[in-house]
Chains A and B, each alone.
Chain A
């Protein structure tokens, strides 16, 4: 009795082909066992170390990435810090500038005030000196006028005073002195 299902036919064809190529089922099994042993050997000797190495490299890469991220974060922080420092420096510079301007304005005001006060004092002193000079001049002129007037009067009196006038003056003086002493 013959079974002519496609599977048996394929198996028969394969057997024929193996026979023609000199391959037997036992050699296939042996090859399979070799393959298994080779696979296990490769797994143990090569795959595991490679896997371990890859894992280590991955961890290393992760570590480097983490370090990189940390560095980036640090750089970012440094950048922020630098920005903050710059901002603070700018603010400080602006405050210093403002203060300097304020101080300069104050000093300018003080100098102006001092100059004004000095000018005022100078004007007052000059006016006082001028006033004193004017009064002195006026006094001198008055004195000179008085001196000239009296010099003229002396000359006129010395020339024009008569004997009678002189006698009358003497009489009046004697009378005045007597009356004063009697009082």
Chain B
């Protein structure tokens, strides 16, 4: 079952500490995902983006700024 689980792709702006890794692992496990793949992308400025299959959780600073820009 773990072997067949989808890979959660996680984008962060800098290398996460252990607490973050644990919290993220719990979050993705709760959604049936046991594998993670981290990508360091400073362009997101901060926050986190988690993609599990088709589902995308975007909590990056860049997306928040985009929201603000659209609102303006």
Are A150 and B69 within 8 A (Cβ)? yes
Q: Given contacts A161-B45, A166-B47, A167-B20, are A173 and B57 in contact (CB under 8 A)?
A: yes
Q: Residue A173 contacts which of B48, B65, B72 (CB distance < 8 angstroms)?
A: B48
Query: Binding site of A, secondary structure by majority: helix, strand, loop or mixed?
Result: helix
B46 close to A177 (CB less than 8 A): no
- A-B contacts counted at CB < 8 A amount to 67
Q: How far is the CA of A157 from the CA of B46 in the complex (A)?
A: 8
Q: A94: CB under 8 A from chain B?
A: no
Chain A residues within 8 Å of B42, by CB: 158
Residues of chain B from 8 to 45 with CB closer than 8 A to chain A in the complex:
12-14, 16-17, 19-20, 23-24, 27, 30, 42, 45
Please report the C-alpha to C-alpha distance between residue A170 and residue B22 in the assembled complex, in whole angstroms. Answer: 12
Looking at the assembled complex, report how far the CB atom of A139 sits from the nearest CB atom of chain B, in whole angstroms: 11
Shortest C-beta distance, B57 to chain A (Å), equals 5
Q: Which residues of A contact B1 (CB under 8 A)?
A: none
CB neighbours of A149 from chain B (8 A): 72
Q: CB-CB < 8 A to B19: which residues of A? A: 167
Provide the residues of chain B in CB contact with A161, threshold 8 Å.
13, 45-46, 61
- Chain A residues in 8 Å Cβ range of B72: 142-143, 145-146, 149-150
Instruction: Give CA–CA (A173, B24) in the complex, Å.
Output: 10
List the A side residues contacting B14 at CB < 8 Å: 163, 166
Q: Given A150-B68, A166-B13, A166-B46, A177 and B30 touching (CB < 8 A)?
A: no
Verify if A129 is at the interface (C-beta below 8 Å from B): no
Question: Which residue among B27, B46, B59 has the maximum number of chain A CB atoms within 10 Å of its CB?
Answer: B46
A positions within 8 Å CB-CB of B:
142-143, 145-147, 149-150, 153-154, 157-158, 161, 163, 165-167, 169-174, 176-178
Q: List 8 A-B contacts (CB under 8 A).
A: A143-B72, A146-B69, A150-B65, A154-B62, A161-B61, A166-B47, A170-B24, A170-B48
Closest 7 CB pairs of A and B: A173-B59, A146-B72, A169-B47, A170-B48, A161-B46, A166-B46, A158-B45
